[in-house]
Structure 1
Amino acid sequence: MLSVLLAFSGCDKRNTSDSEKESFRREVVDKDPPATPLSPEESITKMQLPPGYRVELVASEPMVQEPVALAWDGNGRMYVAEMNTYMKDAQGSGQFERTSRIKLLEDTDWDGKMDKATVFVDSLLLPRAILPVGDQVLVQETNLKHIWSYRDTDGDGVADKKEMVFRNDGIDLRNLEHQNGGLLWNMDNWIYPTRDNLRYKYKDGELVADTLIDNMTGQWGITANDYGRLFFSEAGPGLPAVQIEQMPAYGALNFKDQFTPDFAVPWPVIGTIDAQGGKGALRPEDNTLNHFTSGAGQSIYRGDRMPADMKGDYFIPEPVGRIIKRGEIVNNNGKIQIQNVYQGKDWLASADMNFRPINTYTGPDGAFYIVDMYHGIIQESEWSGPGTYLYGIIQDKELYKNRGMGRIYRVVHEDFELNQKRPNLLNEPASKLITYLEHPNGWWRDNAQQLLVLRNDKSLVPTLEKIALGEKATLSEKSGPVTRIHALWTLDGMGAMNKNILFQALADADPEVRKAAVWISEIYIRQNDQEVIQKLRSIKNDPSPDVRIQLMLSLRENKTEEAQATVKYLLAANPNNEVMQASYNSFVETHRKIAEEKERIKNISPEDRELIAKGAVIYKQLCTNCHGPEGKGIQVGERMPAPPLAGSPRMQGSDRILPIEILLHGLKGPIDGVEYTDMMPSMAGQSDEWIAAVLSYVRNSSEVGNNASVIKPEEVKQVRERIKLIPGGATLQYLEVHKGYRTTERNWAKEQE
């Protein structure tokens, strides 16, 4: 056992006392920790937190097993998605058996610990997204693009009515880590997934999809702040925050410095020997993880029962490092950056090797909730099979034995009493729901708004208008800015917005209210309403950079002379606004490439055009995680997870066999003298057409910038057949591929003939 006490270094960005700094120290407990499972009570004692915070158990096995996500309905009942077949061994045996479930947990005496559990939905395939909508629960499973609604109509805790609310017959062939990892009903009344280029509106019992111009690359988890700004994360390249500068409808926009470099550095308190990157991913002095590898399940704390400086902060678990990192969200001239709150340590770190925090939430009681999968193997089988570094660790530590468990915790603070009121929103009249729009806990406000929109009781419109304008509200003398914004979006969701209310909101004293009003005005902009467009032009010199940025975003698609003149003025008047300038440049470049692509494919055969189009979808859904949306790679601090594809001699050269072999075998560096942090797994499990399509897109796309011939499925088939003659088939070192493996392969194959 290593018992090293690492003294706190650096200064916290929060005003914590000297005594607190001294008592909150990172203690590395063990360089080579045991993998023996602990009881929930024992596991809690292994968690290190700042003074005043403590962890309480909410539920554990056998009540829950393999939990990955949770959500509360309007009455505070907890729905938990269980992935019961996830990684039972290093090869992922039996992973796609339909034995996973959605559990319904209830705290009947509201003491913070669940005491009743029922199987709400059984026989699912690795459920990954759950979203209560009124009295139903929306669920999405692995490999399927449908979204289903489940209802319990007789009150026994078991769903007895199942309806499809979104139909897509396509099969999701991506690795399960790269599929959609959440659904969120946002303040703007759109339902957002974590990935792909769709968002949904709930209308008449169905989800109506809207196609976005860019593919979102978030993975597991999605969250929003009090004003509806979304925050995604991307585990593949180790990015703890992506797509945080603007809403997905306006396209992808990311900056290298949208989080500080130290925010992507975890500080575990035990050796992280099961990191996929092997020894290179660990600090030599104590074997702890030295960079993010799997951030997921982020949330912004929006409750009212924790210290004030915690409200609005960004929390993201790193399940490989067994930590939860805390960041402060800073707005500088409209540009968002997440900065570390603690230096050289993390808000929560566990010395239990099976602690796997993968989702976090603000609860209706005001506590901070953690979903702990409590599972031995956290990396999917493409990276943990025989021949990999992880396989040896899994076998040596017998991590495959540690499954069938799971815990849900809540973090509380000694200075605050949790909310003792049990939610009953599903049964309360709409007139009561309005009062919750000014609740200090965002969970209550969000659910009240959703239910008001769903019920669409127009008799409440006058009251909502008064709240939106800051007149005497339901509980206080004057509604605050957040409440006013909720009222505006509720009116919008009910189809009851009018220009009188909108124009007054555009003149509100609070910039976030004005920004929301500009955002909402898009319902009129799309109709070329000149009165609204002229009104928006009148605020082009708004003192808030956020309002000016939103004005540019909302008007730039409108082709009227007035709208374009306003956009042109904004760009000229704000030359140093990085978000505004970068967003508009990206917007122009995207449309240029779309036009260029249409022109270029005119001379391509219909068959090849269809193949490239399929490859574009695959690339944007999967490959952008590591190679970037334009194939230029992704920079994470001083490192890149994978090499650029744009300009790659292997992707645009005349050799058509080598790129096929790379996808069939996988690849690991160094490449062209550069060491990359991630290993590319074999894609041999995909079809010949899949491999041909994605390679054809990368080799022949104006977006990536390469100009080479397409690769046909028949070519992939021929190479695959030849590779079958080779023993093993493990991932190849790049030098083997580049300097003679193919010659060796052909000679070997010839000998067998």
Structure 2
Amino acid sequence: MNYCSLGSLIGLVGLLPALAQNGDRKGHDKMGKIVPEELIPPAPVLTVEEALKTFTIEKGFIIEPVAAEPLVDKPVALTFDPSGRMWVCEMRGYMPDIDGKLENMATGRIAILEDTTGDGKADKRTTFLDKIVLPRAISLVPGGILYGDQNNLYFVARNGDKPKGKAVVVDDKFAPGGNVEHKTNGLMSGIDNWLYNAKSNARFKFIPGENKIIKDTTAFRGQWGISRDNFGRLFHNSNSTLLIGDRVLPNLLNGNKLAKMKAKTTERIGSNAVFPGRVTPGLNRAYISSHNGYSSNTIDPKTFKLTNATGACGPVIYRGNNLPSSVNGNGFVCESSAQLIKMIGLEDKDGTLKGSHPL
């Protein structure tokens, strides 16, 4: 069993923070190596057991494996059913080579992962649906599931753990344009029973019995992942902004469609500073450095570590009770290129959201 790094796994669940660049940026012809090779530690492929010994964990937290290969393959999005089982989108066709060729092959799957022994680890897999082109979003709805692929949003009825009939397109403009990196993802249920997305200004409501959806406009949010707090406010981010939050409930200021509200409804929460535990040579635009004659630095020219987020993804507002109570309501964001997860403390006061960095 091989293990992909925590950064890679969470980056995939948060929907893919990197894609091969097509050519060089104009004026960016100085791309000399920045990090001395003798400072770059080995990065061998590890088993799950070996990898667990390499993590640095904050006091009060633990890390445990839940699922890994071969039980699951290239997970990018998941949701839970009432029995606590995970329904997982496996984007197996993503970047089969450095040029992304053959990504349009229908190799993606939706799998159900289940813990049958009660030890907190998935030990049973059921493939619910296969032959999907780059599946990226999933939501369980009455009588079936909604899922998004590279272009469309589908409904497929189900009989238990098996699909009943063929998938039906309910929106053929779910994920329009762009590459894999810049397409709709999410289908997260809000407290108003609408399904919200990142990298999109559309929200959806499923109509049980009719197996149809209502599509409505909402504010454009985020890039890779979406979450919400106990009040129902939505949180999202972009590659270089760790966390952005809505000040009010979604569409609250859109009651009258004839009135165009210009009020600021979102807030960037906290700084984008990150603190990697090792040098970070493998970054997008890491060559931008004073060592190469540029006026700015992607990585610190002295420590050779990333200073601010460049691959943020998968934001989560923690609302459970398994972690210390002091972090309930805080944000957790993966910076996959630096292989870390950052906690952001949330403060809500006088209609303003602020972020702190308690760790």
TM-score (norm 1): 0.38
1:126 has 2:130 as partner = no
1:104 has 2:112 as partner = yes
Q: 56, 62, 83: which one pairs with 1:48?
A: 56
- In 1, the alpha carbon distance for the partners of 2:205 and 2:267 equals 33
Q: List, as ranges, runs of 4+ consecutive aligned residues in structure 1 with deviation greater than 4 Å.
A: 251-257
Asked whether the 8 Å contact 2:157–2:163 carries over to 1, the reply is: yes
**Max Rg structure:** 1
Structure 2 match to 1:292: 309
Query: Matched residue of 1:241: which SS?
Result: strand
Inter-CA distance 306–168: structure 2 relative to 1 (3 Å threshold): same
Q: 245, 248, 266: which one pairs with 1:246?
A: 248
1:304 has 2:312 as partner = no
Structure 2 match to 1:209: 215
- Structure (1/2) with the larger helix percentage: 1
Structure 1 match to 2:351: 334
1:273 has 2:281 as partner = yes
Asked whether the 8 Å contact 1:106–1:115 carries over to 2, the reply is: yes
- In 2, the alpha carbon distance for the partners of 1:89 and 1:304 equals 41
Inter-CA distance 217–170: structure 2 relative to 1 (3 Å threshold): closer
What letter matches 1:118 in structure 2? T
Structure 2 match to 1:91: 99
Q: 38, 43, 49: which one pairs with 1:35?
A: 43
Query: Matched residue of 2:52: which SS?
Result: helix
Inter-CA distance 170–69: structure 2 relative to 1 (3 Å threshold): closer
CA deviation profile, 1:183-220 (whole Å, cap 9, x unmatched): 111111111111322212222322101123x5x13111
Structure 2 match to 1:147: 153
Asked whether the 8 Å contact 1:120–1:158 carries over to 2, the reply is: yes
- In 1, the alpha carbon distance for the partners of 2:198 and 2:97 equals 27
Query: Matched residue of 1:149: which SS?
Result: strand
Tell me by how many angstroms 1:149 deviates: 2.1
Structure 1 match to 2:79: 71
Q: 182, 188, 191: which one pairs with 2:195?
A: 191
Structure 1 match to 2:335: 318
Q: 252, 259, 279: which one pairs with 2:269?
A: 259
Tell me by how many angstroms 1:306 deviates: 2.1
Inter-CA distance 111–161: structure 2 relative to 1 (3 Å threshold): farther
- In 2, the alpha carbon distance for the partners of 1:257 and 1:185 equals 21
Seq. identity, %: 31
Structure 1 match to 2:227: 223
Query: Matched residue of 2:326: which SS?
Result: helix
Tell me by how many angstroms 1:165 deviates: 6.2
> Which structure 1 residue ranges, 5 or more long, are not aligned?
1-29, 343-753
Tell me by how many angstroms 1:259 deviates: 2.1
Tell me by how many angstroms 1:77 deviates: 1.5
Q: 168, 173, 180: which one pairs with 2:177?
A: 173
Tell me by how many angstroms 1:260 deviates: 2.6
Asked whether the 8 Å contact 2:273–2:308 carries over to 1, the reply is: yes
Structure 2 match to 1:658: none
- In 2, the alpha carbon distance for the partners of 1:316 and 1:90 equals 27
Asked whether the 8 Å contact 2:199–2:221 carries over to 1, the reply is: yes
Tell me by how many angstroms 1:79 deviates: 0.8
- In 1, the alpha carbon distance for the partners of 2:221 and 2:115 equals 36
- In 2, the alpha carbon distance for the partners of 1:134 and 1:114 equals 24
- In 1, the alpha carbon distance for the partners of 2:264 and 2:52 equals 37
What letter matches 1:106 in structure 2? E
Tell me by how many angstroms 1:258 deviates: 3.0
Structure 2 match to 1:115: 123
- In 1, the alpha carbon distance for the partners of 2:43 and 2:304 equals 15
What letter matches 1:211 in structure 2? T
Query: Matched residue of 1:42: which SS?
Result: helix
- In 2, the alpha carbon distance for the partners of 1:252 and 1:129 equals 30
- In 1, the alpha carbon distance for the partners of 2:266 and 2:246 equals 12
Asked whether the 8 Å contact 1:73–1:135 carries over to 2, the reply is: no
- In 2, the alpha carbon distance for the partners of 1:52 and 1:171 equals 40
Tell me by how many angstroms 1:253 deviates: 6.3
CA deviation profile, 1:441-498 (whole Å, cap 9, x unmatched): xxxxxxxxxxxxxxxxxxxxxxxxxxxxxxxxxxxxxxxxxxxxxxxxxxxxxxxxxx
Asked whether the 8 Å contact 2:334–2:341 carries over to 1, the reply is: yes
Tell me by how many angstroms 1:80 deviates: 1.0
Asked whether the 8 Å contact 2:201–2:221 carries over to 1, the reply is: no
Q: How many residues align?
A: 303
Inter-CA distance 172–314: structure 2 relative to 1 (3 Å threshold): same
Tell me by how many angstroms 1:255 deviates: 8.5
What letter matches 1:138 in structure 2? L
Tell me by how many angstroms 1:162 deviates: 3.5
Structure 1 match to 2:13: none
Greater relative contact order structure (CA < 8 Å, 6+ sep): 2
Inter-CA distance 169–297: structure 2 relative to 1 (3 Å threshold): closer
Tell me by how many angstroms 1:243 deviates: 4.7
> Which structure 2 residue ranges, 5 or more long, are not aligned?
1-37, 254-260, 290-297
Inter-CA distance 217–258: structure 2 relative to 1 (3 Å threshold): closer
Asked whether the 8 Å contact 1:245–1:253 carries over to 2, the reply is: no
- In 2, the alpha carbon distance for the partners of 1:252 and 1:290 equals 33
Inter-CA distance 219–169: structure 2 relative to 1 (3 Å threshold): closer
- In 2, the alpha carbon distance for the partners of 1:228 and 1:248 equals 8
